[in-house]
Amino acid sequence: MKTAAWPRAESESERLLVVDPAADTLADFAVRDLPSRLRAGDLLVVNDAATLPASLQGHATDGAPVEVRLLGPAEEGTWTAAVLGAGNWRWRTEDRPAPPPLPVDATLTFRGAHGDAEPDLRARVVAVSDVSPRLVRLLFDRQGDALWSAVYRTGRPVQYSYVRAPLALWHVQTAYASRPWAAEAPSAGRPLTWRVLLEARRRGIALAALTHAAGLSSTGEPALDAALPLPERFDIPAETVAAVARARAARGRIVAVGTTVVRALEGAAEAGGGRLRAGEGRTSLRIDRHFRPRIVDGLLTGIHQPGETHFDLLQAFAPEALLRRALAHAEHEGYLAHEFGDSCLILSRPV
């Protein structure tokens, strides 16, 4: 399937493939039509995580070039990160060489885009994961506001070789982005403008938000990629739990905007013994065809293909045969894939 190589100016006109497992049907719409595909009493839940400038170019102790992709804060002021070897986003991740060995106490230095004389930022390796030597925990040479300022001055958005030019940070934010938690954009919500969301509200569709730290989609190392998604943190407000309860009482559907919202809601429900509770947590939940969702009834997502972990997750909402038929239809009709691509709405409960 053809890949979208750049954000499109009119996201509301991007394509929306509606998949109805109950009727075994497919239908073509545009993103602007999303409110008309839902009904009064439904609840649309978005991930309001803002996307970090999580890609830091630097050097190891011996001067070897590395790229660090931040996954997020860990314990005691450290950060979890994946490390790639020489190269940049123009190289396919699978073609990037391995980074130099980074034992505990190895030091990494990062310079800003303007090539200042002094390093913008330093970090020390404090732990190396058993999953892969490319997965490490880092302790930076500053904390708090000083660290955030340095990360935003030094880093860039994580991006992949199919994108045609360097991305600015605003290219990877949703309209409602809030806390900077996401290593990569929670891209299912990217085409949702406030005009579309307010039209949904006008039609009686409720809106709610949670924050989920969307992780990396690829590192180029097979062993590490097989472990994705790694445990990711989430925060579900009490207002969102209440909105889910109201929608349930009104026989409305809970529609997740993105697979990150599915993992957050279903991970929280699993931790709560089937009951959705407010608060922060981490989830390592892997959802596939054998999973039976307790909270989510429908999903707005991108166009995902077999072999991707997201495609496995979709099979919790629709049978594989229908999803493959939907992909074949999307390819025939010229839909675009990846984070700047077109969208798919799966409604696993009847309209």
Q: Which CATH number is 222's domain given? A: 3.40.1780.10
Q: Which residues of the chain have pLDDT under 70?
A: 113-119, 349-351
Using the Cα atoms of residue 82, residue 84, residue 87 and residue 91 in order, give the sign of their dihedral: negative
Q: Are residues 129 and 239 in the same domain?
A: no
Q: Are residues 149 and 221 in the same domain?
A: no
Q: Are residues 203 and 317 in the same domain?
A: yes
* C-alpha span between 174 and 47 (Å, rounded): 9
Indicate whether 5 belongs to any domain: no
Place of tokens 């750049």: 6
Q: What is the pLDDT of residue 310?
A: 84
Q: Considering 134, 154, 174, which residue would you say is the last residue of a domain?
A: 154
Q: Considering 132, 154, 176, which residue would you say is the last residue of a domain?
A: 154
Q: Are residues 235 and 143 in the same domain?
A: no
Q: What is the pLDDT of residue 116?
A: 55
Q: Are residues 223 and 307 in the same domain?
A: yes
Indicate whether 2 belongs to any domain: no
Q: Considering 129, 154, 179, which residue would you say is the last residue of a domain?
A: 154
Q: Are residues 256 and 116 in the same domain?
A: no
Q: Are residues 75 and 218 in the same domain?
A: no
How many structural domains compose the chain?
2
Q: Would you report the helix, strand and coil content of the chain in percent, each value rounded to 5? A: 25, 25, 45
Q: Give the pair of three-digit tokens for residue 216.
A: 């990396």
Q: What percent of the chain has pLDDT over 70?
A: 97
Q: Are residues 96 and 225 in the same domain?
A: no
pLDDT tens sequence across 256-300: 999 999 999 999 999 999 999 999 999 988 888 999 999 999 999
Q: What is the pLDDT of residue 113?
A: 58
pTM: 0.94
Q: What is the pLDDT of residue 308?
A: 77
Cis peptide before 229 (omega within 30 of 0): yes
45 phi and psi angles, rounded to 5 deg: -110, 125
Which CATH number is 84's domain given? 2.40.10.240
**How many residues in total does the chain contain?**
351
Q: Are residues 89 and 195 in the same domain?
A: no
Give the structural domain span for 338. Answer: 11-51+166-347
Q: Are residues 79 and 47 in the same domain?
A: no
Q: Are residues 335 and 311 in the same domain?
A: yes
Q: Are residues 216 and 329 in the same domain?
A: yes
Q: What is the pLDDT of residue 146?
A: 94
pLDDT tens sequence across 102-136: 999 999 999 875 555 556 899 999 999 999 999 99
Indicate whether 81 belongs to any domain: yes
Indicate whether 291 belongs to any domain: yes
